[in-house]
Amino acid sequence: MGDESTSHSVSQLGGIDGNKSCETQVVLNVYDLTPLNNYTVWFGLGIFHSGIEVHGKEYGFGAHDFPVSGVFEVEPRSCPGFIYRCSVSLGRINMHPSEFRTFIENVASEYHGDTYHLISKNCNHFTDDMACRLTQKRIPGWVNRLARLGSLCSCLLPESLQVTTVKQIPEYHHESEDDTETLSITTPRVSEELDDDQEKRLLSPLAAMSPVAGSGDVTFVKEAHK
């Protein structure tokens, strides 16, 4: 998926013989979208959000209206609006932070907010893709099992859950100290079929985010210019 520059493995991007100071752990942080997970997880099912942690920051993917980056950055294990469940170590990589920034900006160009889809391109698809590119490992199957089941039974799902995303209007404010864009979120515009908070969270992690929805600032990653 994507161009060759973003599909390189870590060994190609950063090498395995680089400076030890560039070594960092890659961690999958998993969150509950509903307390019902405490019961359904025993059956291998649940509704989860996940983010990938690298160099002390966590990266996730969510929906908005526009054909620009939907990849966002938060403090690890602190994604607003969700309940942190657990972390899964995916291994270690040797990549300089500036090299990783180039990598994540290239990935962001493949994950626009208006392409988010609950069944085929959600936050867990993003973290699985990131894990494969960085460590050649997949995230645990239970994290995104519900979406895989949904893809097999899409004809049984309500149309709103198949194709609709919760629309957020991101406003970007440039910060000169780094290459991220600070996100402000205006009042969400939700399709008429969805008027329940739980359905909104199912459709997009960004639906749960607001300036008062939890700890930690949310910033979009600026995508690389082609």
Q: Angle CA(40)–CA(126)–CA(2) in degrees, nearest 5?
A: 150
Q: Angle CA(194)–CA(150)–CA(200) in degrees, nearest 5?
A: 20
pTM of the complete model: 0.71
Residue 221 covered by a domain: no
- Judge whether residue 147 has pLDDT over 80: yes
Q: Kindly tell me the sign of the dihedral angle through the C-alpha atoms of 42, 201, 159, 150.
A: negative
What CATH number does residue 133 fall under? 3.90.1720.30
123 is catalytic: yes
Task: Give 30 or 167, the one with higher predicted confidence.
Answer: 30
Q: Angle CA(2)–CA(166)–CA(150) in degrees, nearest 5?
A: 65
Q: Could you tell me the two tokens for 104?
A: 């994540």
> 3-class DSSP state for residue 217?
coil
Q: Tens of pLDDT along 73-117? A: 999 999 988 999 999 999 999 999 999 999 999 999 999 999 999
Q: 79, 112, 123, 125: which one is catalytic?
A: 123
What mean pLDDT is predicted for residues 190-207?
Answer: 45
Q: Angle CA(162)–CA(113)–CA(67) in degrees, nearest 5?
A: 115
Residue 60 covered by a domain: yes
Domain that holds residue 78: 23-165
Please report the pLDDT score of residue 43 as a whole number: 81
Q: 8, 49, 55, 225: which one is catalytic?
A: 49
Q: Tens of pLDDT along 23-66? A: 999 999 999 988 898 888 888 888 999 999 999 999 999 988 88
Which contiguous run of DSSP H or E holds residue 87?
Answer: strand 83-94
User: Which 8-state DSSP code applies to residue 225?
Assistant: P
Residue 49 covered by a domain: yes
49 is catalytic: yes
Percent of the residues in the chain that have a pLDDT greater than 90, as a whole number: 42
Please report the pLDDT score of residue 224 as a whole number: 82
Alpha helix ranges (H) inside 89-175: 97-108, 123-135, 145-152, 159-163
* Tokens 């949904």, located at residue: 150
Residue 134 covered by a domain: yes
Please report the pLDDT score of residue 192 as a whole number: 37
- Residue of 22, 48, 174 lying closest to 103 (CA atoms): 22
Would you place residue 217 in the very low, low, confident or very high pLDDT band (cuts 50, 70, 90)?
confident
b/e sequence 71-92, b meaning 16+ C-beta within 10 Å: bbbbebbbbbbbeebebeebee
Q: How many domains does the chain have?
A: 1
- Residue of 92, 76, 93 lying closest to 30 (CA atoms): 76
